[in-house]
Amino acid sequence: QKEVEQDPGPLSVPEGAIVSLNCTYSNSAFQYFMWYRQYSRKGPELLMYTYSSGNKEDGRFTAQVDKSSKYISLFIRDSQPSDSATYLCAMSSTGSARQLTFGSGTQLTVLP
Amino acid sequence: GAGVSQSPSNKVTEKGKDVELRCDPISGHTALYWYRQSLGQGLEFLIYFQGNSAPDKSGLPSDRFSAERTGGSVSTLTIQRTQQEDSAVYLCASSLADRGHGYTFGSGTRLTVV
């Protein structure tokens, strides 16, 4: 079993929909949680960063961490065609980039 | 430069040949990382450079893989005697410090071994 599980999709939604992307993990020591967006043939770019449990909001994006359930989510409100990309979750027990464990990514398509 | 630059963007090579992949980090970034992204897999850490310190090579999958960083700037990842399982996207990232939320990725080199 992988340390981080992420549904690969593909996920296809109409423009304006609310999108929910999720990851589950098994390592209870994880306390730094990140979401990256990766456009086709580009490198990942950081979307959201959360330390420990709770919610964090940035514009149309909301990240949630539930450490008791070992479950993290990324919500996208009013989804746009420009949100079409692969979304990767990543997490670690320290802040070190060397020790990040990535999910395999969920491919999202927002249809106009 | 404005971002992390990687070259070539695509590389097709024959099994058994050696390849070199290049990374130009953001100017002033002392930390540099190489990752591998295989189809349907998450990013796999390969190697980390920080300033003049000895590199962290703990993620290199075999002794066919090596990397160097000259003058604290440009880095080259070398894969010797390439195998088909080496086919992947090789991503480089740089940052000011070793923080998972503070680094910038390049667009990667897509390596295909035939």
pLDDT in tens, B61-98: 999 999 999 887 999 999 999 999 999 999 999 988 77
Residue of A nearest to B47 (CA): A98
Distance from CA of A102 to the nearest CA of B (A): 5
- pLDDT confidence of residue A98: 75
Going by C-beta distance under 8 Å and a sequence separation of 6 or more, which residues neighbour residue B112? B10, B11, B12, B13, B87
pLDDT per position as a tens digit, B12-68:
999 999 999 999 999 989 899 999 999 877 899 999 999 888 999 999 999 999 999
> Which candidate in B29, B101, B105, B110 is best for mutational testing of the A interface (most A CBs within 10 A)?
B101
Q: Do B48 and A97 touch (CB under 8 A)?
A: yes
Q: What is the pLDDT along chain A (112 residues), one digit of tens a residue?
A: 789 999 878 999 999 999 999 999 999 999 999 999 999 999 999 999 998 888 999 999 999 999 999 999 999 999 999 999 999 999 988 877 777 899 999 999 999 9
Out of B42, B48, B106, closest to residue A88 by CB: B42
Going by C-beta distance under 8 Å and a sequence separation of 6 or more, which residues neighbour residue B11? B19, B21, B109, B110, B111, B112
Q: Do B42 and A46 touch (CB under 8 A)?
A: no
Q: Do B100 and A104 touch (CB under 8 A)?
A: no
Of B101, B108, B106, the residue nearest B1 (C-alpha): B106
Q: Which of residues 72-91 of B touch A (CB under 8 A)?
A: 91
Going by C-beta distance under 8 Å and a sequence separation of 6 or more, which residues neighbour residue A8? A104, A105, A106, A107, B40
Pairing of strands A71-76, A19-25: antiparallel
> Which candidate in A4, A89, A98 is best for mutational testing of the B interface (most B CBs within 10 A)?
A98
Q: Output the average pLDDT for chain B.
A: 92
Q: Do A98 and B99 touch (CB under 8 A)?
A: no
Out of A43, A96, A98, closest to residue B106 by CB: A43
- pLDDT confidence of residue B42: 83
Rounded Cα distance, B49 and B75, in Å: 9
B103's tokens: 């680094």
Q: Do B99 and A104 touch (CB under 8 A)?
A: no
- pLDDT confidence of residue B32: 94
Q: Is B95 at the interface with chain A, CB within 8 A? A: yes
Read off the pLDDT band of B1 (50, 70, 90): low
Residue B64 to residues B44, B59, B60, B86, Cα–Cα distance (Å): 16, 13, 9, 10
**Gap between the terminal Cα atoms of chain B:** 33
- pLDDT confidence of residue A94: 82
Query: Could you tell me if A57 and A48 are in contact, meaning their C-beta atoms sit under 8 angstroms apart?
Result: no
- pLDDT confidence of residue B51: 85
Out of B4, B103, B108, closest to residue A97 by CB: B103
- pLDDT confidence of residue B100: 63
Q: Do A97 and B95 touch (CB under 8 A)?
A: yes
